[in-house]
Amino acid sequence: MGAVNKMRAEADGAPMIERILKAVTASAAGPIVVVTGHQPDAVKAALAGYDVTFAHNPDYAAGLSTSLRAGLDALAEDIEGAVVCLGDMPAVSAGHIDKLITAFDVGEGRAICVPTHQGKRGNPVLWAAELFEEMRQVAGDVGARHLIGEHAEMVCEVAVDDDAVLIDLDTPEALAAYTARRKS
């Protein structure tokens, strides 16, 4: 996104990070941890009034894996799992998140719940706590997606009706296209 703080870029009339946080707070997920990186005070200001725990990642420039680790480290030890949401996916809804939570059942082999649209896997992903240590070992500018392949027997694909789980806004052009599409 260049000089623009992506989390504060406007999507659907609100900062992008607030759009996804509204979805998370309206879902059955909780407690909620928001990982900050670049300009943490600006992100916190955009989320003033929400009941969240902030975890700052001073190593955010080293890649997504460091933010994943910071978020996992901020979770309570007795948690069953975590829905890992990306702050640049403003079209994700509470309904998408709740479908993942409803599908989640470690005892029945559904320890990684992944949304799909027309056969393509997207985000957010719900991960069982038993995978957190492996997730902490991820390095670089990648998430834990490779663990889905390594633990295929634990994966539950959850079909959703729209492409919101595939829309990731990483560039000004992607944001402009998303905005134009939403207006039409």
pLDDT tens sequence across 44-97 = 998 999 999 999 999 998 988 999 999 999 999 999 999 999 999 999 999 999
- Of the pLDDT bands very low, low, confident and very high (cuts 50, 70, 90), residue 107 is very high
pTM for the full predicted model = 0.93
Number of domains in the chain: 1
Residue 1 lies in a domain: no
Q: Establish if 50 belongs to a structural domain.
A: yes
Cβ–Cβ < 8 Å for 33, 74: yes
Domain assignment of residue 182, yes or no:
no
The pLDDT tens digits for 7-45 are 888 888 888 899 999 999 999 999 999 999 989 999 999
Q: Rounded to 10 degrees, what is the CA torsion of 113, 118, 119, 122?
A: -40
Predicted pLDDT of residue 82? 98
Domain span including residue 104: 6-176
The predicted pLDDT at position 73 comes to 97
Q: Do the domain assignments include residue 64?
A: yes
Q: Is residue 149 part of a domain?
A: yes
Query: Is 183 inside a domain boundary?
Result: no
Q: Which residues pair with 55 in a beta bridge?
A: 35
Per-residue confidence (pLDDT) for residue 99, from 0 to 100: 98
The structure tokens 């999507």 sit at: 11
Q: Give the span between the Cα atoms of 91 and 55, in whole angstroms.
A: 23
Alpha-carbon distance 119 to 84, whole Å?
Answer: 20
Output the average pLDDT for the chain: 92
Percent of the chain beyond pLDDT 90? Answer: 73
With a cut of 70, say whether residue 119 has pLDDT above it. Answer: yes
pLDDT at residue number 95: 98
pLDDT interval class at 183 (50, 70, 90): confident
107: tokens are 């005892």
Looking at residue 169, which CATH number applies to its domain?
Answer: 3.90.550.10
Is 97 contained in some domain? yes
- Separation between Cα atoms, residue 7 and residue 54, nearest integer Å: 14
